[in-house]
Amino acid sequence: MDQNQIKEAAELLYEAGRSLKPIEPLTEKYPDMTIDDAYQVQLINVKRKVEEGARVVGKKIGLTSRAMQNMLGVHEPDYGHLLDSMIGEEEVPIKLSRLLQPKVEAEIAFILKDELKGPGVTLSKVLQATEGVMPAFEVIDSRVKDWKIKIQDTVADNASSALVILGSRMVPVNDINLKYVGLVLEKNGRIIDTAAGAAVLGHPALAVAWLANKLAQYGISLKPGEIILSGSLTKAYEITGNDIFTATFGGLGQVKAIFEE
């Protein structure tokens, strides 16, 4: 893609988010779009939102399960940016009218105390640089109609991100083995899934290490204080109405997300 096409694609996604009217896949309009092109599109819209007053507060990692990677025909995760305008509160209902076609994912959030700069970031370095971990929900959403996405579509769309809800408790990483953390995910009081931390690349900290090393290619580091969402432990679940989702992590605590029409 040339720079005019990249800017045009960014504008299409920006307008879809503003108007809440999803668009056809960018990969249909721009069949030659590469993943690098898609990250350029993502960065244009992140920069635009920052210029409008938003602040980058972290990153999210997606496609951390082999099943999702195989579905999109890729061999590594992707990432997007978290803005302060995307942070929700546990007890404050989220209006579905502000979203297009949302789904929810239960994740472990890392809160950094030190900078992480690749290459060469390892699992142990991630743990050393982490202030603590928190239970979290990520609300993913797609500006692409009917979630008809390829990897380039989701990357361009800021990794299909929308909102983040953090739990109320932060646990030091020394107090818990994240590989074996259990998850019970409930929707409206009914258990819909269970999982363990190992579902995320074998260990959630490995996802954060991947991100730090990936960003090194662009001269970007992970900063102290940033929130890093390490990836979903289960598949994403659709939000269908006035729903309450609860994720309980062994040793980490609980996070709740409330949605209303």
DSSP state letters, 24-63 = --HHHH-TT--HHHHHHHHHHHHHHHHHTT--EEEEEEE-
Residue 7, pLDDT > 90, answer yes
User: Residue 161's pLDDT is what?
Assistant: 96
Give me the phi and psi of 44, to 5 degrees please: -60, -45
How far apart, in Å, are the Cα atoms of 56 and each of 109, 127, 128?
A: 15, 22, 23
User: Residue 23's pLDDT is what?
Assistant: 98
User: Residue 213's pLDDT is what?
Assistant: 97
User: Residue 68's pLDDT is what?
Assistant: 73
Residue 69, pLDDT > 70, answer yes
Please report which helix (H) or strand (E) contains residue 122, including its range. Answer: none
| Listed range (48-57, 61-70, 76-85, 168-177) with the worst mean pLDDT | 61-70
205-242: per-residue pLDDT in tens?
999 999 999 999 888 999 999 999 999 999 999 999 99
Contacts of 8 (CB under 8 A, 6+ apart): none
Give me the phi and psi of 8, to 5 degrees please: -65, -40
Residue 72, pLDDT > 90, answer no
CB 210, CB 185: distance < 8 Å:
no
Cβ-count burial of 151 within 10 angstroms (0-12 exposed, 13-18 middle, 19+ buried)? buried
User: Residue 22's pLDDT is what?
Assistant: 97
Query: Binning pLDDT at 50, 70 and 90, where does residue 67 land?
Result: low
User: Residue 76's pLDDT is what?
Assistant: 86
Q: Give start and end residues of each alpha helix (H) in the chain.
A: 3-19, 26-29, 35-51, 66-72, 123-128, 151-156, 204-215
User: Residue 132's pLDDT is what?
Assistant: 98
C-alpha 232/C-alpha 61 separation (Å) is 9
Q: What angle do CA 177, 180, 184 make, to 5 degrees?
A: 120
C-alpha 84/C-alpha 87 separation (Å) is 6
Contacts of 247 (CB under 8 A, 6+ apart): 106, 135, 137, 183, 184, 185, 186, 254, 255, 256
Residue 185, pLDDT > 90, answer yes
Residue 75, pLDDT > 90, answer no
CB 101, CB 176: distance < 8 Å:
no
Per-residue pLDDT, averaged over 16-35, amounts to 97
Structure-block tokens of residue 230:
């390490």
Query: Domain map of the chain by residue range?
Result: 3-260
Mean pLDDT taken over the chain: 95
Per-residue pLDDT, averaged over 147-171, amounts to 96
The identity of residue 178, as a single letter, is L
Candidates 3.90.850.10, 2.40.50.140, 2.60.40.420, 3.40.250.10; correct CATH number of 3-260?
Answer: 3.90.850.10
User: Residue 96's pLDDT is what?
Assistant: 96
Whole-number percent of the chain with pLDDT over 70: 100
User: Residue 170's pLDDT is what?
Assistant: 97
Question: What's the whole-model pTM score?
Answer: 0.95
